[in-house]
Copies of this chain bind each other. A is one copy, B any other.
Amino acid sequence: MTYNIAVLPGDGIGVEITEQAQRVLAALGLDLSMTTAPVGGAAYDQHGHPLPASTLELAKSSDAILFGAVGDWKYDKLERALRPEQAILGLRKALGLFANLRPAILYPQLANASSLKPEVVAGLDILIVRELTGDIYFGQPRGLRTAEDGAFKGERQGFDTMHYAESEVRRIAHVAFQAAAKRSGRLCSVDKANVLETSQFWRDIMVDVAKEYPDVALSHMYVDNAAMQLVRAPKEFDVVVTGNLFGDILSDEAAMLTGSIGMLPSASLNASNQGLYEPSHGSAPDIASQNIANPLATILSAAMLLRYSLNEPEQAARIEKAVQAVLEQGLRTADIHEPGTTKVSTSDMGDAVLKAL
């Protein structure tokens, strides 16, 4: 059986980092068919839209999507619907990619990269499970209107709607509880139930789903406190589950605790385990096409792709071990380079991973 993989390199360093991940995937000896299509600013340039119909069709018909990164300053002046990041929102929505898995792992070899004290972050290994298709991201109504009552009646007002439906919360809860059951057995649900109705509803459903997972200990934390505790004592977290908006903020905060965001992959899954896999970092247009970007987050995203969408856990582990090996060898791209290690290029790093496979 052939696995179909849609490769969407996108903008900036997206091109060179997905190239390395493709080389790694191709070297595994699996029957893979990889098809490339433009997305983001690159797609806007070619087709006038960041997510052209042809790209969307390719993504839909694939088993999994390997995604680079999108965005560049030069598209900043476009109306929002045409800006590169709309492609990623469109893909999430169209494919129903509701479960975003964002590991924040600090590799022991990179402990110095963090802005936090080594003892606070050494061995950090958090999994943030972010709901990705609901919340205030897609809630209707939204827009600009004339305020109809209250103190600001008659004024222009920007507005958005946050909401979560019952089954939306239940399905992400199951993903998170199952992940927690396989790890520490601890799950922390983050919300703002002291202020938001959506959060109180979210919390009630979490408590209900918890009954099906007697071996997982569920705790709750307010998002402001979570933002603090991630800084104070991040290792107290194991699996965190939260909504789309809070997950956006907290998963980036958690990623940055490691100081090596160039190492962090992510997966966005739908109900049939079709998934989009992308590095946690952005398109870094300032260093594009210089062959200096770190391809490891994308290579590790390819490993997640194998594990979650292709059900090839051994192949995933092979890649992850190879990445460990190149770190052990002291190879570092510029973003994680420090004295005593060897600075290598994007393609050198790809070569090294291939060799270590």
- Could you list 14 A-B pairs, sorted by A, with CB under 8 Å? A80-B200, A116-B116, A156-B201, A158-B200, A159-B162, A160-B163, A224-B249, A224-B252, A227-B252, A227-B253, A228-B261, A229-B256, A230-B253, A231-B256
Is chain A's binding surface mostly helix, strand, loop or mixed? helix
- Provide the bound-state CA to CA distance between A167 and B158, in Å: 12
- Counting every copy of the chain, the complex holds 2
Give the interface segment out of A25-33, A52-60, A140-148, A315-323: A140-148
The answer, yes or no, to whether A250 is at the interface (CB within 8 Å) is yes
Contact: B253 with A231, CB < 8 Å?
A: yes
* Chain B: minimal CB distance from A273 (Å): 19
Contact: A198 with B159, CB < 8 Å?
A: yes
The answer, yes or no, to whether A136 is at the interface (CB within 8 Å) is yes
| Other A-B pairs, 12, CB within 8 Å; known A115-B117, A158-B163, A224-B248 | A115-B116, A115-B231, A136-B196, A151-B165, A159-B162, A159-B197, A160-B161, A162-B162, A223-B248, A227-B227, A228-B252, A253-B253
* Chain B: minimal CB distance from A68 (Å): 18
A-side interface residues toward B, CB under 8 Å?
80, 83, 85, 89, 115-117, 120, 136-137, 139-140, 142-144, 147, 150-152, 155-168, 192, 194-202, 223-225, 227-233, 245-246, 248-253, 255-257, 259, 261
